[in-house]
Structure 1
């Protein structure tokens, strides 16, 4: 299964090389270099239908951007469904590209979606500014919108995105709130079966704003009626307390100094205890250990609030079959505030999630807002299958709908 953590791996790697904002990364300056522009690709792919049911903006005030990677270079899709490499020469006199795809005058807009991995951005009331730059490897890349950064050129534009990977194995896609929430989006994927995800309950956008604003310590994450930014980004911007989860993390570390914690992953069940400040798990015989567990154990330093919210730092999840899956389960449990009370992880009953005072109230609000209870409120929200993610090995068409505000 391709999760959000691997969905945009190639794209994230390119962004990291150039300091580009992507999926929680901070803005930065790209290294100067040059890159040749490759030829455009054919329009072969599957049908992408774009439906504007927002009720707040006419089709003429909505633009779509399909950007990402084809595995070798960063690309964008034209209104004709053509896959073209990003090029710095595409920057106009204002210093930004215009990769916007307008919606049809009325009704549904349909185009061909080529095989690629990336994002479908929606911009309402104004166009987005994507700047083509050169990364550290001399390849053209895009600086993505960072709506959580007050100085970003797209800060005043109402926008949001869905993520996808479309390749020979099928379609893997999700709606995401990992960075922020602004525009209600829903995905319908038709293929081996019909699936939908991301659909909000009636009036849920306003309720998300209200619920986050009402949560103690979260109020400054609500940026007018424009967006709600994720608490990790709020922490980096000085809008959220950097030690918010510290008491909850301390409580969990204290609890498992006196008793065992078991974590079950696809590889097996790992038993851990806190020793000398580290949460140390024994890797059972027969489980592939890899470089992360050469001595038969994997361990975690006590995470910070930022580590938990970004699912990074001490909770970074390498694709190693041992430390990575355990990190994901720990990160999910800390965001959902279930770690201390449940010594067998992961917990799978959503009724036990977000019940503590110190919890990820942003993710809680997002899950309460969706009809199926699934959302991508943090990067490890796919643990136990609670992410707004769907996949199909034989996709025929996909529909992205702007649902009512």
Structure 2
């Protein structure tokens, strides 16, 4: 069973040049320093340890950007932990902002305010973050497109951590939903101690080598720089847009005369394929036959609205497509990782991360949290958040 979270995720970043999605949380928060001039009352200590072995602290830049939960507007955070509203006037660095915090000048008492966003970590260069005007006329963050050749920062090793920090707690994860470049582990201390995202020794090299040698996924590897997600590989002409078609055809044929039973927090729902739709009982909206893009982005036919009914069912079906478990298990979700990614047609990009992390968890696709396999941790009484750049 899963409980879908409103979270800042890679599925919202399918466009070549993404805008940060505002309003990722519906929780209220306490007054922040942007309006009071004092440190946010919900300040959470955050630290970053550089164990990369390849870059010194002075060569590493941090960017903390997202949505200020007190104002529901886009913000950036300075070294004191203070959030500031973004402005197009911030585009002073050749048309881009410079919200960077050098790691060697990160204060020991650095904190995160109440916000939902990302901490980008760039090694050896700057990232291109631009402020633009959104559809409502408000200033908005245009985030780095690490999968687009020629975009500013493409040639810079960088990765990010996603988080929502509000009065209910800290909710955070590492992510490979869009791309993978730098191995990052996170630790969250609070009511319990949590850690995830850490790779086994040599794990990063194994990821690059495995995917580079794969006839279907090899074009997603850019030297030793990064691996882009196969969904983004579609737009770049680096991945077969019909890759999942044979598996979808088999699934559609199988469930034309077999029940697919999906269990969520809201109950159990039974579905059958009729024509080009997978139809469930219980008020679940029909799921059309998905394309390869729909599967990889967990969007389109597999979009999961935050409605408590269709959303959880679509998320579970999307995860089963990516893990290729639908033909072996008519009851979903399945929770035995030994049965994941075994079909000839499967998301081997996601699979390789799970294979080389210490806890077997990773965010290789947008619904990788189904059955608890995402590199995600949370705590309702957080006291500290630590990020570690591991050796590579």
Assess, with a 3 A threshold, how the Cα gap between structure 1 residues 93 and 248 changes in structure 2: closer, same or farther: closer
Which segments of structure 1 move beyond 6 Å, counting only runs of 4 or more? 1-4
Q: State whether residues 277 and 286 of structure 2, in contact with CA within 8 Å, keep that contact through their aligned partners in structure 1.
A: yes
Per-residue deviation, residues 178-199 of structure 1 (Å, max 9, x unmatched): 0000011111000001100100
The correspondence for 1:374, drawn from 350, 357, 361, is 361
Q: Which residue of 2 aligns with 1:289?
A: none
Q: Which residue of 2 aligns with 1:287?
A: none
1:318 matches 2:305: yes
1:328 to partner: Cα distance: 0.4
CA distance in 2, matches of 1:276, 1:22: 29
Q: Which residue of 2 aligns with 1:122?
A: 121
Q: State whether residues 332 and 381 of structure 1, in contact with CA within 8 Å, keep that contact through their aligned partners in structure 2.
A: yes
Assess, with a 3 A threshold, how the Cα gap between structure 1 residues 3 and 398 changes in structure 2: closer, same or farther: farther
CA distance in 2, matches of 1:193, 1:161: 24
Q: Which residue of 2 aligns with 1:208?
A: 207
Q: State whether residues 125 and 153 of structure 2, in contact with CA within 8 Å, keep that contact through their aligned partners in structure 1.
A: no
1:299 to partner: Cα distance: 1.5
CA distance in 1, matches of 2:73, 2:306: 23
Q: State whether residues 186 and 198 of structure 1, in contact with CA within 8 Å, keep that contact through their aligned partners in structure 2.
A: yes
Q: Which residue of 1 aligns with 2:101?
A: 101
Q: Which residue of 2 aligns with 1:17?
A: none
Q: Which residue of 1 aligns with 2:228?
A: 229
Q: State whether residues 22 and 144 of structure 1, in contact with CA within 8 Å, keep that contact through their aligned partners in structure 2.
A: no
CA distance in 1, matches of 2:17, 2:48: 30
Per-residue deviation, residues 105-146 of structure 1 (Å, max 9, x unmatched): 69x954111110000000000111211112121211111001
CA distance in 2, matches of 1:122, 1:238: 27
After TM superposition, list the pairs within 5 Å mapping 1:137-216 onto structure 2: 137-216=136-215
Per-residue deviation, residues 51-99 of structure 1 (Å, max 9, x unmatched): 1111110001001000000132100110122111111111115111110
Q: Which residue of 2 aligns with 1:62?
A: 60
CA distance in 1, matches of 2:309, 2:3: 17
Assess, with a 3 A threshold, how the Cα gap between structure 1 residues 3 and 402 changes in structure 2: closer, same or farther: farther
1:7 matches 2:7: yes
CA distance in 2, matches of 1:28, 1:178: 14
TM-score by length of 2: 0.91
TM-score by length of 1: 0.88
1:389 to partner: Cα distance: 0.3
Q: State whether residues 62 and 102 of structure 2, in contact with CA within 8 Å, keep that contact through their aligned partners in structure 1.
A: yes
After TM superposition, list the pairs within 5 Å mapping 1:289-300 onto structure 2: 293=283, 298-300=285-287
After TM superposition, list the pairs within 5 Å mapping 1:79-98 onto structure 2: 79-98=79-98
CA distance in 1, matches of 2:19, 2:175: 26
Assess, with a 3 A threshold, how the Cα gap between structure 1 residues 208 and 362 changes in structure 2: closer, same or farther: same
Q: State whether residues 50 and 109 of structure 1, in contact with CA within 8 Å, keep that contact through their aligned partners in structure 2.
A: no
